[in-house]
């Protein structure tokens, strides 16, 4: 719902979208990390909302997940 969404930080929302896209592609965090050329802990921190990806990392994640970068925001 809209209310639930507004209570989430941008980092949390991006993390949820990264996780959903990763699972849709049937990738592990390690596989996504390898494809995006980042570390598995970095993927974990992004997915949990503890870290906001830089524009560069967002673009690499999007490419690895075969989505447009805006779909992860």
* Confidence band of 11 (pLDDT split at 50, 70, 90): confident
Pair of tokens at residue 37:
């050329």
pTM given for the model: 0.87
**Predicted pLDDT at 7:** 58
Average pLDDT over residues 2-14: 69
**Residue 1: which pLDDT band, with cuts at 50, 70 and 90?**
very low
State pLDDT tens for residues 18-58. Answer: 999 999 999 999 999 999 999 999 999 999 999 999 999 99
């Amino acid at each position: 719902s809209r209310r639930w969404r507004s209570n989430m930080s941008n980092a949390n929302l991006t993390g949820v979208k990264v996780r959903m896209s990763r699972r849709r592609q049937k990738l592990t965090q390690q596989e996504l990390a390898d494809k995006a050329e980042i570390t598995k802990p970095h993927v974990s921190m992004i997915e949990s909302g503890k870290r906001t990806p830089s524009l560069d990392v967002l673009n690499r994640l999007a490419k690895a997940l075969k989505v447009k970068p805006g779909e992860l925001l």
